Amino acid sequence: MSKVFARGSAGARRWVVVVAVASAFLGFAGLAGTRARAALPVASLAASAPAQANFGTIKGRLVWAGADVPQPKVLAEVGKASKDPQVCARDRAIVSRDLVVDPKTRGIQNGFAYLVRPSGTNPVAVQYLVKQAAKVEIDQKNCEFIPYCTAMHQEQVLEFKSSDPVNHNIRYAAFTNAPLNQMLPPNGKLDQRLVAERRPIPLACDIHPWMKGYIMVFDHPFFAVTGPDGSFEIQGVPAGQQNLVVWQESVGYVTAGLARGTPVKVAAGGVTDVGDIKLVPKNTALR
């Protein structure tokens, strides 16, 4: 089934991310550079997730609806970075990641898919998530934030690290969490405890102005980050009516209902496939 959810007042705004946490584990699992014990791959975590009755799965795919696939903008050419060129863009150009579309599948990477005010809870999923991925890691490597989009539960610890031999700084401002503006030296690390936020937290490095990313923090385990083919999967969702939101940087809320989400009925023991959620080009703010 294919659906178009356009931004606006009347219609708003599968590697599968097997669930995601752009560093953690999702509903039952999460994707994106997760550190679980010895950095177990998310796929392994998802495959070993315990089965539960009265819970289901939501899956879908965020796709580009335009005729032409947008090309990423070059932010720093090889050897020509405006700062620390001996490290930044030394071997490859740094390109924008605000709208990453796979030309083959037309899937859009780095979108957040999550439930808003979920009906019901799943403590087992939270416990499993935190046990398997107590820390969610964001690296600063080649003068980029890796991963670009990170989703996590508030009971997980967020660890910033730097694999670069130059200084970086980490800066963000949020609605609920205290702002952060912290220097991180070469090979440095910084742990942060964050509480749930209603919206993505923009992440930046002022030393290297092209560096940016996003963090979303939840008080439930029902979230994912879309994979390279645009797919996402949220497991362990309580059966019944739920509200799904898909957010992508270039447009904001993609699904109808904006921040309130679009209704999805989850069947116990089943998989609810919402199909292709299409991002309409005219709604994007391409840079």
State how far the Cα of 72 lies from the Cα of 108, in Å rounded to an integer: 12
Q: What is the pTM of this model?
A: 0.83
Q: Say if CB 232 and CB 225 are below 8 A apart.
A: yes
Tell me how far apart the alpha carbons of residues 86 and 168 are, in angstroms, rounded to a whole number: 14
180 HSE (CA, 13 A, CB side) = 22
User: pLDDT at position 15, please?
Assistant: 35
pLDDT computed for residue 157 by the predictor: 98
How many domains would you assign to the chain? Answer: 1
How many angstroms separate the CA atoms of 77 and 279, rounded? 29
Cα separation, 49 vs 196, in Å, equals 24
Q: What are the 10-residue block averages of pLDDT along the chain, 287 residues in total?
A: 42 36 37 35 41 89 95 94 95 96 97 98 96 96 97 98 96 96 95 97 97 98 98 97 97 94 96 96 71
The residue range of the domain holding 187 is 2-283
Which CATH number covers residue 267?
2.60.40.420
pLDDT of residue 53: 80
- Give the pLDDT confidence score for residue 282 in this predicted structure: 84
